[in-house]
Amino acid sequence: MEKAATDLLEGVRCLDERALTEVYQAYSAPLYRYAYRLLGEAQEAEELVAETFHRFLAAVRRGHGPQTSLSAYLYRILHNAITDRFRRCPPPDLPLDEELTDGAAGDPAQLGAAHWEQARARALLRRLTPEQRLVLTLKYFEGLSNEEIAAVLDKPTGAVKALQHRGLEALRRLLRREGAWA
Amino acid sequence: MKELPERLDEALAGRLPPDAETAPLLAALSALESLQAGPPRSAEAARAGLEAFLRTARQAPAPSAVSPAPPARLTGWKLTLFRKELSPMNVLVLLALVASLAFGGAGATAYAAQGSLPDEPLYAVKLLTEDLRQELAGDPSAQLALALELAQTRTQEMARLAEAGRAIPEPAAARLGTHLETALQLTAEVGEPQLAAALAQLQQQTQAQLQSVTEARRNAPADLGLRLAEQHLTQTQALTQLGLEAPAQFRNQVRAGQLAPSVTPPAGLTRPGPGAGFGPGDGACDENCTPELDGNSYGPGLQHPAQRQRRPAPSTVSAPAPRRRSCRQPAARAHPSTMGTATGPDLAIRL
C-alpha cells in the first residue's frame, strides 16, 4: 500500500478532519454514481451515500474500519445498503428517471426512449444476484480492476471472473427471454 | 485452451478477440450501455453531505490511534506464591478446594455422628444437626414428619443402649418427650379432614415405639430413662386416643399446653413401697417409713384415713424442670396431678 494511502487511513482512524474531508471528496462522487445507476433517484442515492459514510464512521469509532483499501470498504458498505433497500422496498420494474422527466432539454421522443432504455437496464441489473450486479457495475461503469472488486467482495479474483461470467450469462438469458436477442 | 470466464475476462480487457462463446456475452453487456452516462451530482448536495459527515465525526471523541493492547505477559521474575497467571478455572478449583477443606471436615463429622448414641462424644453433633433440620423444616407437614422421625430415632437409640446393657441418659428420654410434644401440637393444628389420619399415624407409631421401649425395659427394669420414655409414649397414646374420640377437646387441650393427660401411671410407680422415698405410704409401712414433718420430731405413726386422702400419694417422679420451648409452643401449665408432688430421685417427669 502506498504511503499516501497509509497516511490517509491513519488519519481516518484518528478521525482527523482533514483526512475525512479528503476521503469524502475522493469517494463520495463515485459512490453516488454507483447508487444512482442502480436506483435512478438522486435523492435516494444521496441518502445512501450519507448512510455509507455514517456506517464508515461508526466502524472507525469501534476500532474497525478499512485495513487496506478505503474504496473497497466504502463500496462494500454501499452495496450492502442498496441490497438492503431492494429487499425492504423493491422498486417498480420501470421507474421514471427524474433527470429525464424534470425539465431536461431535448426531443421528448428521444428523452422517452432514453428513459425507457435506462429503466430497462436497471430492471435487468436488479434481476441479477447482488454479487453479479456489483461485479458488472463496478467493472464496466466504474472501471475497477478484478483485484479491486475482489477486495470489495473479499473473494479471490477467480471468483470475480466467475461472477462476471455468470452475470453476463444471466443477462443474456434475460434479454433472450425478452425477445430482444436471438 | 483457457476456461470461458478467463477468456471472457481477456476479451473484455481487449487482450483477446471475441470468440463464438464470448461474443454473445459481450453483446449482452451493451444492454446496460444506457447507464454509462449518469447525471452529474449536485454540488450543493455534495457540500451538504460533507458537512454532515464532518459534523457527525466531531460528535464523538476521537478513538485511540491504535487498538487497546492485550494484557502484557510477564517475561521476568515475579515474587508470588502462585504462577504468574491464574486462569478462571484454576481459581474456581482453588476456591472449591479451600471450601472442601473448611467445611468438608465438618460435614464428615456430622455424617459420622448420625450413628452415635446418647452416651457417645459425637452425640452432641447429631443433636445439633437435628436442631438445624428442625429449623429448616418449612411447612407444618414437614415439621410433623420430622418430629415423628426424630422420635423414632430416640426410641431406637434407647433400644440399642438397653440391648448393650448401657443406661439411658435422661436428656435422651427428655428429648423424646419434646419430639412427641411437638408432634402433638402440630397434629392439633392439622385441618379437620386430615386430623384423623394424622392421629392414626401418630398412634400407630407411638404404639410401635412403646412396644420397643417396653421390651427394652424387660432387660433393664430399673432404668429411669426407659421409664421416662414409656411415660411419654403412654401419654401421647392417650392424647391421640382422645383426639380420635373428641377432636375438639384434643385441640383445646393441646393448644392450652395440657399435654399431660390424665393417664394412669404405670403400675408400680404411683404407690411407692416402703423405703421408696418421701411420704408415709399407705399407712402400712413399718418403722422404715419417712417421718412426717409435723415438728414433733417423732415419727408419724399411723395416719388418719382422712389425712391420707388430703395428701396424695407421691410418685417416685416429679414435675420436670422447665424446658426451653420454641416461640409457637405455649408454655405448658402444670397439670394438677403434678402439683404438690415431692421431689423424687434425679429424674423429673410430669404425670
d(CA B251, CA B234): 18
Q: Which residue type occupies B71? A: P
- The pTM of the full predicted model, rounded to 2 decimals, is 0.44
Quick one: DSSP state of residue B338?
A: G
CB neighbours (10 Å) of residue B76?
Answer: 5
d(CA A52, CA A33): 13
d(CA A75, CA A31): 7
Interhelix angle B22-29/B4-12, nearest 10 degrees: 50
Helix (H) or strand (E) holding B107: helix B88-113
**Among the residues of A40-89, which ranges form H helices?**
42-61, 70-88
Report CA B44 to chain centroid distance, whole Å: 80
Above 70 in pLDDT, residue B46? yes
- Mean of all residue pLDDT scores within chain B: 71
Closest CB to A63: pick one of B41, B46, B63: B63
Contacts of B58 in chain A (CB under 8 A): 17
Q: What is the pLDDT of residues B3-38, one digit of tens each?
A: 888 888 888 888 888 888 888 888 888 888 888 877
Q: What percentage of chain A has pLDDT greater than the value 90?
A: 34
Quick one: DSSP state of residue A166?
A: H
d(CA B201, CA B209): 12
Closest CB to A165: pick one of B4, B54, B63: B4
pLDDT of res. B150:
92
Q: Which residue has the cell 425492504?
A: A88
Residue B47 in grid coordinates: 457540500
User: CB-based burial of residue B182 (10 Å sphere; 0-12 exposed, 13-18 middle, 19+ buried)?
Assistant: buried
Is the CB of A168 less than 8 angstroms away from the CB of B32? Answer: no
**Does the model's ipTM exceed the 0.95 cut?**
no
Interface test with B, best of A8, A9, A23, A28 (most B CBs within 10 A): A28
Q: Which residues of B touch A (CB under 8 A)?
A: 4-6, 8-9, 12, 24-29, 31-36, 38-39, 41-42, 45-46, 49-50, 52-54, 56-58, 60, 62-65, 67
Closest CB to A141: pick one of B28, B36, B53: B36
B307 vs A119: which has the higher pLDDT: A119
pLDDT of res. B97:
82
Q: Are B158 and B226 in contact (CB under 8 A)?
A: yes
Is the CB of B28 less than 8 angstroms away from the CB of A28? Answer: no
Residue B192 contacts by C-beta under 8 Å, 6 or more apart in sequence?
B247
Q: What is the pLDDT of residues B98-136, one digit of tens each?
A: 877 777 677 777 777 788 888 888 888 888 888 888 888
Helix (H) or strand (E) holding A20: helix A17-39
d(CA B166, CA B216): 11
DSSP codes, B261-290: --PPPPTTTSS--TTSSSS-TTS---TTSP
pLDDT of res. B267:
46
pLDDT of res. B283:
47
Residue B261 in grid coordinates: 393427660
d(CA A142, CA A137): 7
Average pLDDT estimate for A44-54:
91
Q: Are B197 and B231 in contact (CB under 8 A)?
A: no
Q: Which residue of A has its CA nearest to B8?
A: A165
Closest CB to A146: pick one of B9, B42, B64: B9
Q: What is the pLDDT of residues B256-312, one digit of tens each?
A: 777 754 444 444 444 444 444 444 445 444 444 444 444 444 444 444 444 444 444
- What's the sign of the alpha-carbon dihedral B136, B142, B148, B152? negative
d(CA B133, CA B148): 13
- What's the sign of the alpha-carbon dihedral B193, B196, B198, B201? negative
Is the CB of A118 less than 8 angstroms away from the CB of B4? Answer: no
d(CA A93, CA B228): 102
d(CA A121, CA A36): 13
pLDDT of res. A163:
93
Q: Are A111 and A100 in contact (CB under 8 A)?
A: yes
- What's the sign of the alpha-carbon dihedral B35, B36, B40, B41? positive
Contacts of A181 in chain B (CB under 8 A): 24, 27-28
Closest CB to A175: pick one of B12, B28, B56: B28
Q: What is the pLDDT of residues B126-173, one digit of tens each?
A: 888 888 888 888 788 888 889 999 999 999 888 888 888 888 888 888
Reference A112, options A97, A125, A124, A123; nearest CA is A97
- Secondary structure, 3-state, B176-205: HHHHHHHHHHHHHCCCHHHHHHHHHHHHHH
Q: Which residue has the cell 419434646?
A: B178
pLDDT of res. A101:
45
**A106 Rama class: left (phi>0) / alpha (psi -120 to 50) / beta:** left
Q: Which residue has the cell 504468574?
A: B84
d(CA B234, CA B243): 14
User: CB-based burial of residue B55 (10 Å sphere; 0-12 exposed, 13-18 middle, 19+ buried)?
Assistant: exposed
Helix (H) or strand (E) holding B58: helix B43-58
Reference A27, options A10, A6, A50, A59; nearest CA is A50
